[in-house]
Amino acid sequence: MPAEDRPQITLITPPALDLEVFPDRLARVLDSVEVACLRLALASRDEDEILRAGDACRVVAHERDVAIVVENHVLMVERLGLDGVHLTDGARSVRKVRKDLGQDAIVGAFCGTTRHEGMSAAEAGADYAAFGPLGETALGKGERADFELFEWWSAMIEVPCIAEGALTAALIEKFGPVTDFFGIGAEVWGAEDPVAALQALIAPLG
Q: How far apart are the first and last CA of the chain?
A: 6
Say how far apart CA 49 and CA 45 lie, in whole Å: 8
Q: Which residues contact 26 (CB under 8 A, 6 or more apart)?
A: 11, 13, 38, 57, 60, 61
List pLDDT tens digits, range 58-117: 999 999 999 999 999 999 999 999 999 999 999 999 999 999 999 999 999 999 999 999
Q: How confident is the model at residue 24 (pLDDT cuts 50, 70, 90)?
A: very high
Q: Is the pLDDT of residue 179 over 80?
A: yes
Structure pTM?
Answer: 0.97
Domain ranges of the chain: 3-205
Q: What is the mean pLDDT of residues 3-19?
A: 93
Looking at CATH, the fold of the domain delimited by 3-205 is given as: TIM Barrel (3.20.20)
Amino acid at 43: A
Residue 168 or residue 138, greater confidence: 168
Q: What is the mean pLDDT of residues 29-52?
A: 97
